Structure formats: structure tokens, C-alpha cells
Chains A and B, each alone.
Chain A
Amino acid sequence: MFNQGTNRAPSANSVIPFFVLSAVSWLIGIVFIAFNPDSVLISVYFNEVMLTITHILVLGFVTSVIFGALFQLLPVIFLQNIYSEKLTKSIFYLLLFGTIGLCFSFYFDSNGIGLTVFGSLLNIAVILFIINVWKTIGKSKENKVAKLFIKTSVVWLALTAIAGLLLAINFLIPFLPFAHLELLKVHAHFGIIGWFVFLIIGVSSVLIPMFLLVHNLESRPLYFAYVLLLSSLILGGISKVISIPTLMYISYGLGVLGFIYYLNFIHVVYKMRLRRKLDFGLKKTMIAFPSLIVVIIGSIFFIAGFQTDFNLSAFYVIVLIVGFIATLILGQFYKTLPFIVWLKIYKPFVGKEKTLLPKDLYNYTILKYQFYSHVSGFILFFASLLLNLISLFYIGIGLLMIGAVLFLINVMQIVFHQKQTL
């Protein structure tokens, strides 16, 4: 039989734990924010609670689901066998214990030994992940733009992890010749832009047109976005280390242009889509993109020196994570996890008997309410940050929490689904 890709993916049991960890982490992260409004609203940058929340979200929620989804999707996108299933399983445990240990270490007074030990575990996970990704993609000639973005993203992931470990060691034995806060900013931007955004652009350049049924797309805007974002990150990193403010302005300018090129690509895909009516999984995916406009505006205002009650650089980073990345992930969960579980349970019976469809594995009404509570929640949450309104903060985070609970219910329903006969 012609192998279209899913037969080359690792077993469902080795990728599903990444999705579960992600869904649980999202809820824990939101609960932490709800119970620590002061840490978020007042001293947003460098405090133990904020560092804990950030790492629950970026490692437990985002990185976990990216790892799991990539191990499933790389064989499909690049028509290659997954390099190693054993590595896939090892990476999960390293990520799980590394994330839990790191977050505990942050929460309890940023314990230097804990940060270094668990940071090292995470670095090992990253090294194994990079080996698995690079060896899987190999010399595939499929989807060249996606390949470029994904391969680059894992390099940024490595740099992010190394910078993180240096910061952890610096807690134990201060050795950095410059202010560690500057390296923290580099660490954050490398991770969020270099790792998440590059990876998301690479994967979405294949998946969004595929789900919306769009063919023959011009890939040049994505190459422009690639060069612009890459230059932006490199210049931004240099500007922080050697303190040249002009370089930072250029870096922001290039970054904004890069985002605009990417958004334009997505806009073209959306306009050309043959699939006019979108289900709520896709609606949730698509509603993530307008939040990038808020990120762009927020970063322009920040670099222009606008003063607001809330630190604008923290604001655009929060919008990027909670508005764009999280919304996109919560939507794409419904386009990956039900299919992985469905293939595991029903593929042996396909054609031999009537089977459920992937959409039957979760409750669509719950998804609908999750969509409404999440979208209204993040809009009110962002408004509360800018206006510094505690009541609005609680309404926004409350709605996000309802969305996270509904999401977890659906995820568990999918994961524990038992075969049903029609």
C-alpha cells in the first residue's frame, strides 16, 4: 500500500502524553495567574511567581504540545520515517521532570541548584529532540519553506535552552560579565520568536492551507518573513549583549516587517480558501492571527517609548503567548489529537465496519463554549493589563479558566475514548 505518512509516525502512545501534559499545564498556568494578580499586574518582569507561570506555559503547555505534534506531523509533512521512537519517549520524561523541577525551583525562591539540575535535564531533552527532528527531516525534498523554518526553529530552541542554563548557573555562581537581565530578555525573545514563532510559521505554512483547502501558493512572502525575522533576532541578540540601542530599533523594525509578511501569507490563504464554512477548531485557529496585529502595535508603541501603566514589552509578549500561540494551539489540538487517537483505535477497522469519525471523539458543544469563553477571556484579560483594572482581570482570567477546564474535559474524553460500534 502507498504510504502517505501516518504509517511512518511513532505510535500514538508515545505522542499522546505530550498532549495531556500540555492541556494540564495550560489549566495550571491559568490558575497560577488567577491566584497571583499582583505578580502579573504590578511586578511583571523578574519575580519567582511570574517565572514559574511563564515556564509552566512555555515548557509544559507550548513546548510539550509542539514536541508531540511534531513527532506526529514530521513524517506526514516530509514523508519520512520518524528517526527514533525511543528518543520520543525519553524526551517526554525529560521534559516532564525537567519542567516540574524547574517550576518548583523557581517558585521556591529561584533555587540555583534546582534550576541548574532541572535546566540540564531540559537541555538534554532539547538535544535529543533536535537529533530526532533533524534526522527525521533528513534530505526530504518536500515542503522546502516548512523545512527551513522548522530546522531553524530547533537551532533557536537550542540557543534558548543554553541561555536558560547559563542564567541558572549564574544564580549559583555569578559569572556573567553583563547584567543577567539582558540575557534573560535574549533568552525570552530567542524562545518565543526563534523557537515558537519560527516553528509555528513552518508548520502552519503547510497545515493552514491544507485544512482550508488552498493550493499553489506563492512561497516568496514566507522567505521574506524568514530573512526578516532571522535578521531581527540576530541583531536583537547582538544589541542586548553589546548595548547598541540603534541595532535594537532596526531589530524591532525588521521583526515587525517579518510578522507583516507572515500575516499577509495567512490572509491570502484565508481569502483563497475553498472550505468556506469552518468548524470551531479551525475558527479558533484563525482567530489567533488578528492578535498578532496587537503584538505588532504593542511592540511599535514600546520601541517608540510610549508610557502606559503596564510594561508594554511584557504586554506584547503576553499577547503573543496567550493571544496568538495559545489560541492557535488550542484550536489545532482539535485537528491533531482526535486524529491521532482515532487512527490508533479505529484504523484497524476502517472499511471493515462503520466507525466513528475523529470529530465524534469529543463534545462539540463543549468546544463551542470553550471557544467563546477563551476568546472573550483573553480580550478582557489583555484590556485589564493595559487599564490596570483588577475587576476586569478577574473576569478575563475567570473566562480563560472556564475555557481551560472545558478544554481539559474534551482532551480527557479524547484520550480515554474506547472503541464504539455503530
Chain B
Amino acid sequence: MTSQNIENISEMGIFQSLKEVIDPELYVNIVDLGLVYGVILTKDPLSVKIELTLTSKGCPMGDAIIQDVEQTLMRLYPGLTVNVELVWEPSWSMDMVTDEGHAAFNGF
């Protein structure tokens, strides 16, 4: 499973994998929340840069979310170097939330 992940690694695959990361306050995954702005994969050496935003600059759960992104990807893709870059432009808004995110958001 893991070696297959590495062989078939792609930006879209990594993006989908990030659905495992849940915002601990909003109970919605960060992909459907629209927090993942970019996934840039480099194959040699194997590394990925995740451009991530947060719903607010002083989000108390920011550290935990960043750690979750790093650890989740390192667990799913052993050997992959993960760099998370926090970005604030464009600032996050509800327009970035997917339909699934909206459904989860209001279903609590």
C-alpha cells in the first residue's frame, strides 16, 4: 500500500489525502473547507510543498492542523518530505468551501 502510494504519487492524490485532516473546531476536513491553496510536488528529491491557509490568523488550532498535514502525508507517503507554507492571500472566505464542506458545516 505505502510503496504503491509512493509509486503512484501525484498532486491530486496528495490533495485527496488531505481530506483526512479535520479542523478540530469546525469538524470539517481542510480540503472541503478550502484551506488547501496549492500542492506542489517535486520528484527529485521527493518532496511536496503544501500551501495552506487558516480560517483566521490567530487560529489556536493552527499548529495542530499544520502538524496533522505533515504527519498524515508522511504516514501515507513514507520518504516524502513535507513542507507546509502558511499563506494569507487571498484571505479565506466561505466561497472557498466545497459543496460537501457546506453540507458538513451546517450539519452539526
Q: Of A3, A279, A350, which is within 8 A of B64 by CB?
A: A350
Stretch in A87-95, A226-234, A270-278, A297-305 touching the partner = A270-278
Q: How far is the CA of A342 from the CA of B77 in the complex (A)?
A: 26
Q: Within 8 Å CB of A211, what residues of B?
A: 25
Tell me if B46 is interfacial: C-beta within 8 Å of chain A.
no
Cβ 8 A contact of A76, one of B60, B72, B84, B85: B60
Q: Does A7 contact B (CB under 8 A)?
A: yes
Which B34-76 residues have C-beta < 8 A from chain A?
Answer: 54-64, 66-72, 74-75
Asked whether A350 lies within 8 Å of B106 as measured between CB atoms, the reply is: no
| Residues B27 and A357 in contact, CB atoms below 8 Å apart | yes
Provide the bound-state CA to CA distance between A339 and B25, in Å.
Answer: 9
Most B Cβ at <10 Å: residue of A4, A215, A274, A347: A4
- B75-103 CB contacts (< 8 Å) to partner A: 75, 84-86, 91-94
The 8 Å CB contact of A210, one of B59, B84, B85, B106, is: B59
B66 engages A2 (CB within 8 Å): yes
With A6-B62, A76-B60, A351-B21 in contact, is A213–B94 under 8 Å at CB? yes
**A1 interface residue per 8 A CB criterion:** yes
Report if B13 contacts A (CB, 8 A). Answer: no
Residue of A7, A342, A351 with highest tally of chain B CB at under 10 A: A351
A23 at the interface (CB under 8 A from B): no
The residue in chain B whose Cβ has the minimal distance to the Cβ of A6 is: B63
Q: Does A206 contact B (CB under 8 A)?
A: yes
Q: Write the nearest CB–CB distance from A273 to chain B, whole angstroms.
A: 10
Across the interface, do A350 and B58 meet the contact criterion of CB distance under 8 Å?
Answer: no
A-B contact count (CB 8 A): 91
Cβ contacts under 8 Å, B63 to chain A: 1, 3-7, 347
Q: Determine whether the beta carbon of B67 is less than 8 Å from that of A215.
A: no
Q: Which residue of B lies closest to A75 (CB)?
A: B60
Assembly CA distance A205 to B106 (angstroms): 24
| B70 and A1 form a contact (CB under 8 A) | yes
A339 touches B59 (CB 8 A): no
Q: Which residue of A lies closest to B106 (CB)?
A: A277
CB distance from B60 to the nearest CB of A (A): 5
| Residue of chain B at shortest CB distance from A279 | B108
B68, A274: Cβ atoms closer than 8 Å:
no
A1:B27 contact, CB within 8 angstroms: no
Enumerate chain B residues within 8 angstroms of A5, measured Cβ to Cβ.
58, 60, 62-63
The residue that A215 contacts in the complex, of B22, B26, B56, B62, with Cβ under 8 A, is B56
* Known contacts A2-B86, A6-B64, A351-B72; A276 and B24 CB within 8 A of each other: no
Q: Is A209 an interface residue (CB 8 A)?
A: yes
Which chain A residues border B55 with CB–CB below 8 Å? 210, 213
Q: Are A351 and B58 in contact (CB under 8 A)?
A: no
| Smallest beta-carbon distance B94→chain A, Å | 4
Within 8 A of B (CB), among A279-305: 279
Q: In the complex, given contacts A6-B60, A76-B58, A342-B24, what are 8 additional A-B residue pairs having Cβ atoms less than 8 angstroms apart?
A: A1-B70, A4-B54, A339-B24, A347-B67, A351-B21, A351-B67, A351-B70, A358-B25
The 10 closest A-B pairs by CB, nearest first: A351-B71, A4-B62, A351-B68, A351-B72, A274-B94, A210-B56, A4-B63, A6-B63, A76-B60, A350-B68
